[in-house]
Amino acid sequence: MKAPAFLLRVRRELRRVADPRKAPGMQAYMKSAMPYLGVAAPLLRQSCRELFAETELPTHEIWRAKVLELWRGAAYREERYVAVALTGDRRAAVFQTPAALPLYEELIVTGAWWDYVDEIAARRVGPILRSHPEPMRKKMLAWSASSNIWKRRTAILCQLRFKRDTDLDLLYACIEPSLASKEFFLRKAIGWALRQYAWTDPNEVKRYVRRHKDQLSALSQREALKNVSR
């Protein structure tokens, strides 16, 4: 079956700017089963600007369809990076509501790796939580107890950019189901979320780590206190 037109246009542009010599190293670094074309991040961003300028996004449905066309049809990891970038196009700001969550859930669950998930958690799911706190709070609490570790990680990391606006009760509630987990990506996420909030209130983070010292992994404690004076 022939690939959709938008995907083909993206693929042609990425091939144009790719350096295939870099592709094996990029794939090895990311431990990716999906191959790379070898497109450096600055060139990828420039290509996205040019591609998106020629792409109309008049409705939520068309925006979602374009994103999924790239995501589901991708043969190279950079094509999925373009899909994630398209979710954050400035024209898509109006689409960033709880109605977009099924799209992000698909990207999180099927992407199942930190390079996709962390961007979506902090820069897509987080802003929706900020603008729609009540329904999103319930959703993040549900995700925090999910059997899928990447949904759990998203719930923990979605407030990374909130600073003083962080809902601490929600953060701690989203951490709690993963305290006993031996999963590296959850332990790392817990430490990262706490470390990020420590820039705002280091004493609160120290208090939390002390209180949960017997539950938090050494990795989570080390990450949480990395920038905090002992």
Q: Locate the domains of the chain by residue range.
A: 1-95
Chain centroid to CA 146: how far? 16
Whether 217 contacts 186, CB under 8 Å:
no
CA nearest 210: which of 201, 219, 221?
221
Q: Under a CB-based contact definition with an 8 Å cutoff, are residues 114 and 160 in contact?
A: no
User: What does the pLDDT read at residue 1?
Assistant: 57
Strand, helix or coil at 149?
Answer: helix
Q: Is 179 in a helix, a strand, or coil?
A: coil
Q: Mean pLDDT, the chain, as a whole number?
A: 96
Report the amino acid identity of residue 113: W
Q: Contact 6/48 with Cβ under 8 angstroms?
A: no
Query: Cα–Cα distances in Å, from 200 out to 43, 171, 205, 210?
Result: 34, 14, 9, 18
Q: How high is the pLDDT of residue 47?
A: 98
Which fold would CATH assign to domain 1-95?
Leucine-rich Repeat Variant (1.25.10)
pLDDT of residue 2: 59
Residue stretches of the chain with pLDDT short of 70? 1-3, 229-230
Look at the pTM and tell me if it is higher than 0.75: yes
Per-residue pLDDT tens over the stretch 96-153: 999 999 999 999 999 999 999 999 999 999 999 999 999 999 999 999 999 999 999 9
Q: What is the model's pLDDT at position 4?
A: 84
Question: Which class for 145: exposed (0-12), middle (13-18), buried (19 or more C-beta within 10 A)?
Answer: middle
- 228 CB contacts (<8 Å, ≥6 apart)? 195, 198, 202, 205, 206
Which amino acid appears at position 170 of this protein?
L
Q: What is the DSSP letter of 225?
A: T
